[in-house]
Structure 1
């Protein structure tokens, strides 16, 4: 693995540790501390995610136009400003305003991180994107656990902790990623080359797979929204809920040797990797629908984690394989936008369904939607087959 990739991994880890002080507790803060309903909490998170969609698309375009260094620095700087204000103004409705800005600025950063790792280590294939995925989840393993401890002292301290880690990431980006940006392996922008992309089949394939990706995130986001408040209602403490995310992050890291033989066997069968992940993913939500204690929540999280280990790294890998030269950022922006739209719709849809039918019915309804990503995974390559397009990038 190139040293430049390690710098991206460290940066992603720090970024996610800071971000993990906020996102798992958003619904709890809005519902339990600001006194708003689950539906209102869902609308707030929808605004955050909608801003993230815009940020993802802009971040992908900026990567292709001005490079990853400037995109990441500007996105992080905006986050720092929003978090600085959020420390002092986190009541209603200021919380909504600054959380929306954080969605936008965070959206700018992530496509560039994924596009940069693909450009810096093209021969790495799935390994390149899996390394960023592991860095994210190492952050998830530590961040929520620290957030639970900080929140147990005073939940308002989570904003300062978030700012602290973003400052570290900002300095890493400013002093480390500029050298990466000047690396000879950096991509050549299609905008500079002024070339047109004539074969649209890869783009259509990307849109199909992104539709399924959207649905999986719509369902996954229930863990940080409706399921979080449901766990508290069952007598599970805030520390225990935060521990679930720590289990998720730790298991993703220590579970790599367990899935490595399967991944190696399926190395060139990315469709099968995704299908395996989706099936396991869906099984975890059937378990959580009937969970009544902390142990069952742990079982469901373990199953969920193995599902996402197959699924999440495969999506940006496929996006990179489909992207024409110079459009890596834009294609990563599309798949990141799909996940963000899922995060946008998920909290509100879950909140409304929970208030209408109860948590169990809501989970079962959304789990039934898993047939959609199964279908999109089966058929995403139809446009490629019709035009005879072959993925020659890796």
Structure 2
């Protein structure tokens, strides 16, 4: 793996570690500390994620226009402003406004980092995105474990720890990312009509696979929102809940050889890899539907983690493969915005379903949505294959 990618992965670890002090505990803080309902908590998290969606799209656009280094710095400075603000202003309604700004700034950072990862190791394929994914989840494991411990003393310390980690990330970005050179992949000025049609079809394929992606994230986000609050009602402590995310992050790091072996033998294509992962997701929610014990949640989290190890790195890889030259940032912005959109819709949809129908209905609906995502994954590239097959005779005739 190139040294430049290692620097990006380390930055991802630091960035997500800081964020993970807070994001798994957001619903608990809003519901238990600020005294708001689950529906209100879901709306707040929806606003945070909505700002991230906008940030994702802008971050991808900025990567294509001004490069990864400047894009990342812009996102960091915006987030730093709000994160430091949270240290001093974390009551209602200041918490809401600052959380929205944090979402926007962090949204700019992520697609730029993923696009940069694909650019610095173009021959790495899924390995570059898998490395970023593993780095992200090392941050989740460390941040969630420390966050639960720190929050058990005071939520004020959580905000301070988040700010410190982001300052460290800023220093790494300033001194480590400036020297990273990204290949200039701008398209030629003259583009044939056939190329335009093919690029449009690639974008359509990405949007279709992204529909399944957003549904997967909608389901997954329940673990940091409705399920988080649900565990508190089952006398599962905050430390135990945070331990679930520690298990998640540890498994992602330690389980890579195991999952890589399965993928190599049973998931020859990215499509197969995603479908297998979604089916595993479904199994995890079946377990949650039938348990009220902490051990059952551990089993469900283990199954969920295996599923995400299949799905999460595969979708950015598909985006990188589909992206026309010079549009890598834009395509990564789309998939990141879809993931964020799932996290945006998840808490509010989940909160409403739980408040009106209860937890069991929520899990049944989530399983249904995951079944739909299997279907979208299976069909996303059907039209693209048709266009590519039609282009073969024309290429042969001109040769």
Q: Under a length normalisation based on structure 2, what TM-score does the superposition of the two structures give?
A: 0.94
| 1:186 paired residue number | 183
Unmatched 5+ residue regions in structure 1?
Answer: none
- Secondary structure in 2 aligned to 1:178? coil
- In the TM superposition, what is the alpha-carbon distance from 1:179 to its structure 2 partner? 0.2
- In the TM superposition, what is the alpha-carbon distance from 1:286 to its structure 2 partner? 1.0
Rounded to whole Å, the distance in 2 between the matches of 1:149 and 1:223 is 18
| 1:232 paired residue number | 232
Report if the CA contact (8 A) 1:126-1:314 is conserved: yes
Rounded to whole Å, the distance in 2 between the matches of 1:110 and 1:165 is 16
Rounded to whole Å, the distance in 1 between the matches of 2:72 and 2:206 is 24
- In the TM superposition, what is the alpha-carbon distance from 1:276 to its structure 2 partner? 0.5
| 1:16 paired residue number | 16
| Bigger mean CA offset, 310-319 vs 285-294 | 285-294
1:71 equivalenced with 2:68 (yes/no): no
Counterparts of residues 155-170 of structure 1 (less than 5 Å): 155-170=155-170
- In the TM superposition, what is the alpha-carbon distance from 1:186 to its structure 2 partner? 2.4
- Secondary structure in 1 aligned to 2:155? coil
- With over 3 angstroms needed to count, the CA separation of the structure-2 counterparts of 1:40 and 1:194, relative to structure 1, is farther
Rounded to whole Å, the distance in 1 between the matches of 2:190 and 2:43 is 41
Unmatched 5+ residue regions in structure 2?
Answer: 391-399
Rounded to whole Å, the distance in 2 between the matches of 1:148 and 1:47 is 24
1:153 equivalenced with 2:153 (yes/no): yes
- Secondary structure in 1 aligned to 2:177? helix
Deviations 1:222-278 (A, max 9, x none): 000000000010000000000000000000111111112222235641111011000
Rounded to whole Å, the distance in 2 between the matches of 1:94 and 1:263 is 46
| Bigger mean CA offset, 194-203 vs 170-179 | 194-203
- Secondary structure in 1 aligned to 2:152? helix
Rounded to whole Å, the distance in 1 between the matches of 2:261 and 2:189 is 43
| 2:58 paired residue number | 58
| 1:301 paired residue number | 301
- Secondary structure in 2 aligned to 1:156? helix
| 2:352 paired residue number | 352
Counterparts of residues 177-256 of structure 1 (less than 5 Å): 177-180=177-180, 183=181, 185-190=182-187, 194=189, 198=196, 199=198, 200-256=200-256
| 2:283 paired residue number | 283
| 1:171 paired residue number | 171
The number of residue pairs the alignment matches comes to 385
- With over 3 angstroms needed to count, the CA separation of the structure-2 counterparts of 1:325 and 1:389, relative to structure 1, is farther
Report if the CA contact (8 A) 1:215-1:373 is conserved: yes
Deviations 1:334-361 (A, max 9, x none): 0011111111111000000001111121
- Secondary structure in 2 aligned to 1:187? coil
| 2:342 paired residue number | 342
Rounded to whole Å, the distance in 1 between the matches of 2:123 and 2:266 is 17
| Bigger mean CA offset, 256-265 vs 33-42 | 256-265
Deviations 1:39-96 (A, max 9, x none): 0000000100110110000000000000000000110111111011111111001000
Rounded to whole Å, the distance in 2 between the matches of 1:225 and 1:332 is 25
| Bigger mean CA offset, 282-291 vs 66-75 | 282-291
Rounded to whole Å, the distance in 2 between the matches of 1:354 and 1:266 is 37
Report if the CA contact (8 A) 1:65-1:189 is conserved: no
- Secondary structure in 2 aligned to 1:235? coil
Report if the CA contact (8 A) 1:50-1:344 is conserved: yes
Deviations 1:198-235 (A, max 9, x none): 12111110000001100000110000000000001000
Report if the CA contact (8 A) 1:119-1:187 is conserved: no
Report if the CA contact (8 A) 1:201-1:389 is conserved: no
Rounded to whole Å, the distance in 1 between the matches of 2:293 and 2:371 is 28
Rounded to whole Å, the distance in 2 between the matches of 1:189 and 1:100 is 33
1:377 equivalenced with 2:377 (yes/no): yes
- In the TM superposition, what is the alpha-carbon distance from 1:195 to its structure 2 partner? 5.7
Rounded to whole Å, the distance in 2 between the matches of 1:111 and 1:187 is 17
1:110 equivalenced with 2:110 (yes/no): yes
| Bigger mean CA offset, 193-202 vs 367-376 | 193-202
Deviations 1:169-214 (A, max 9, x none): 001111110100xx2x523334xx5465612111110000001100
- Secondary structure in 2 aligned to 1:186? coil
| 1:93 paired residue number | 93
- Secondary structure in 2 aligned to 1:388? helix
Rounded to whole Å, the distance in 2 between the matches of 1:42 and 1:378 is 31
